[in-house]
Amino acid sequence: MAPQVPAAFPGIIDPDLDDSDDNGYAEVQGRVINPPFSFGSGGVELVGKEMTQDLQAQKALAEANPSTSVDLESKGVSFGSISHDGVGFNFSQVEGIGPDLVVRPFGRTGCCATVREFDTGAMQFHHGIQPVEVVGAGVDADGDGVADELLEGELSAMHIFQVSLERPRQKKVSKQTPQERAGSDVFNDIGCADCHVREFVTNSKHLTLSLPEVMEDPSANVYFSINLTRSAPGFRRSGSGVVVPLFADLKLHDMGPDLTEETGNSLFQTARLWGIADTAPYLHDGRALTLGEAISEHGGEAQANADAFDALSAADHDALIAFLKTLRTPRSPNKNL
């Protein structure tokens, strides 16, 4: 029997891993996650770390000035406000970030502040490999007869490799067709750029790596620094920093009931749209096969934008899609490592 694709990925309640139903595929019970690529992650990590530093300073300001509401803002993105009553913080007005005020760009649901934090979890969860920095040196924590499964230096090398990958490319504005340029305007007009912020400029062009990592203080325990303007990452310089054209705000948004996971979670990191032309399928679980489907399926905080998209004239609709298709992944990744 030819394998069939399940009608809907999530919501499988009757696991059948060995296919005893003989329908050609294994039903699994679990989260279906469509992982984003790692290209340009050095720029993403740097933007996130600089935002975290701003937010931590604002948090400290609130603590030093009890009963004063302090705006949480970094690089033009608002995360609400915070206050302190002399005993504890009031987080009720904080938006789009957890109470530790650490920006976590990695993972669809914003699990991780750095590539290393993500890799440390992924090694254990996906590969059954226990990093020394988690279980300790010489410890066989999973009782499989192997200690020191992944050394600190090995994780550092992985981190350096991933944050050194090329950034995605966008067709230069001067080379875009009139339709693509019109689509760029539509993108602004119907509010896509409110969450999919086109670019950030960093203060520094150097991404620093730390061990051990202190998420609230990215300046602690630095052991290595990468110049993101050099090959391979190749970010464009701006002042003392670099331009990171990621098309996201590094915030969590409530995407409404249709995109809610089986776990009940409806909060997702704004997907970075750089490279989007080459990365179908779309959304956190890969349910959308086309860009148009991905946009129409926005709900919750982006419901009005999805409605505006669905109401576009055919010409504006096609222009917007043509504009999104100017966002490409690197042509020859790893060439200049």
Locate 254 and state its tokens: 């409530």
- How many chain residues interact with ligand HEC (CB under 6 A)? 27
Q: Which stretch binds ligand HEC (CB under 6 A): 37-45, 68-76, 235-243, 291-299?
A: 291-299
Confirm if 242 and 84 have CB atoms less than 8 A apart.
no
Contacting ligand HEC (CB under 6 A), which of 51, 82, 255, 277? Answer: 255
Count Cβ atoms below 10 Å from residue 152 Cβ, excluding itself. Answer: 14
Binding to ligand HEC by residue 159, rule CB under 6 A? no
Binding to ligand HEC by residue 113, rule CB under 6 A? no
Torsion angle defined by CA atoms of residues 13, 15, 16 and 22, in that order, rounded to the nearest 10 degrees: 10
Binding to ligand HEC by residue 305, rule CB under 6 A? yes
Q: Which stretch binds ligand HEC (CB under 6 A): 61-69, 83-91, 146-154, 297-305?
A: 297-305
Binding to ligand HEC by residue 191, rule CB under 6 A? yes
Binding to ligand HEC by residue 197, rule CB under 6 A? no
Q: Provide the minimum distance between the beta carbon of 288 and ligand HEC in the complex, in angstroms, as a whole number.
A: 7
Closest to 306 in 3D by CA, of 208, 192, 164:
192
Binding to ligand HEC by residue 192, rule CB under 6 A? yes
Q: Among residue numbers 43 through 72, which ones bind ligand HEC (CB under 6 A)?
A: none
Binding to ligand HEC by residue 291, rule CB under 6 A? yes
Report d(CA 217, CA 42) in Å as an integer: 17
Binding to ligand HEC by residue 106, rule CB under 6 A? no
Contacting ligand HEC (CB under 6 A), which of 51, 298, 316, 330? Answer: 298
Report d(CA 49, CA 244) in Å as an integer: 13
Residue 93 phi, psi dihedral angles, 5° rounding = -100, 10
Q: Provide the minimum distance between the beta carbon of 117 and ligand HEC in the complex, in angstroms, as a whole number.
A: 19
In the bound state with ligand HEC, the residue whose beta carbon lies nearer, of 142 and 300, is: 300
Binding to ligand HEC by residue 284, rule CB under 6 A? yes
Count Cβ atoms below 10 Å from residue 271 Cβ, excluding itself. Answer: 19
Locate 318 and state its tokens: 């096609």
Beta-carbon contacts of 125 under 8 Å, excluding residues fewer than 6 positions away, are none
Confirm if 154 and 133 have CB atoms less than 8 A apart.
no
Locate 222 and state its tokens: 């630095």
Question: Is-cis flag, bond preceding 281, omega within 30?
Answer: yes
Contacting ligand HEC (CB under 6 A), which of 74, 114, 270, 329? Answer: 270
CA–centroid distance for 72 within its chain: 20
In the bound state with ligand HEC, the residue whose beta carbon lies nearer, of 155 and 200, is: 200
Binding to ligand HEC by residue 208, rule CB under 6 A? no
Binding to ligand HEC by residue 118, rule CB under 6 A? no
Report d(CA 12, CA 287) in Å as an integer: 14
Q: Tell me which residues touch ligand HEC (CB under 6 A).
A: 108, 190-192, 194-196, 253, 255, 259, 268, 270-271, 273, 276, 279, 282-284, 291, 294-295, 298, 301-302, 305, 309
